[in-house]
Structure 1
């Protein structure tokens, strides 16, 4: 069972977990890291070709600036690619709620008891899962005006778990 939620969320009940419900939110990326690499390589080849033609015609300073430009572009694209796979995952099970988030390849996970978990909207606009002193935030990849509706749907899923 799968349905798209508001551009970023995917709700499904996995076959292997019985009653568990899973919500996955991903960063909205228009280009994959592999496509980005292809773009950068083609851009680099074209820039180096132009710099080589300038070198041959006597404009020797174009090549160092081209290399500097490509180095800066590589840094920016690397920062983009590191965060292209960022995601949040919330799983509601009968015994526990698992909130997991990945940022730049680092995964953090918090398990909360289902019966004690509350879902609130935090002052910073994010959705907070609270159980006692433990708390986890979600909704980073959902537009701000859609978070309240998402929080209501997550509360319904928590009640159903």
Structure 2
């Protein structure tokens, strides 16, 4: 990486990877269904129905979590170009700017949003950062953009 190249990667703060979520769900499913089957064998069938419903709802919630666990934003500054790549639920959105024309704006509020402007194009970045880190990232990005001009 030369002195004019810089790369920032911002990711969600997730405790479990999608594979770990799958293993967790499978273990909970097996235990819950096993207990429900014992009750069904003793004649209380309604427990099995509720266990299945519970596992379907939990499975849906974990599926949403797992789809977004690997989301990230990558901002790359290299050779006069600023590239912003955003991945959400396996959908990739990529914006490329001329680094000389990019303006970095950070709102002055507790939940300040960081926005990159270039002409008519406006791209929010830093959504996975807390407000303090978002502010530091805005300062660092502005510094690198001025340096690359």
In the alignment, structure 1 residue 33 sits paired with structure 2 residue 11: no
Q: TM-score by structure 1 length?
A: 0.85
- How far, CA to CA, are the matches of 1:44 and 1:59 in structure 2? 19
Structure 2: 5+ residue stretches without partners: none
| 1:114-139, Cα deviation, whole Å (9 max, x unpaired) | 11111111466221111111121111
Structure 1 counterpart of 2:102: 117
Matches within 5 A, 1:141-160: 141-160=128-147
In the alignment, structure 1 residue 23 sits paired with structure 2 residue 20: no
- How far, CA to CA, are the matches of 2:3 and 2:143 in structure 1? 18
Q: 1:67 to 1:34 in 2, by over 3 A?
A: same
Structure with the greater relative contact order (CA < 8 A, sep ≥ 6): 1 or 2? 2
In the alignment, structure 1 residue 137 sits paired with structure 2 residue 124: yes
- How far, CA to CA, are the matches of 2:103 and 2:94 in structure 1? 17
Query: How many residue pairs get matched?
Result: 146
- Any runs of at least 4 consecutive aligned residues in structure 1 with deviations exceeding 4 A, and if so which? none
**SS of match in other structure, 1:101:** strand
**CA RMSD, 1 decimal:** 1.6
Structure 1 counterpart of 2:59: 74
| 1:42-98, Cα deviation, whole Å (9 max, x unpaired) | 000000110010011111111111100000000000000010011001111232111
**SS of match in other structure, 1:28:** coil
Q: TM-score by structure 2 length?
A: 0.91
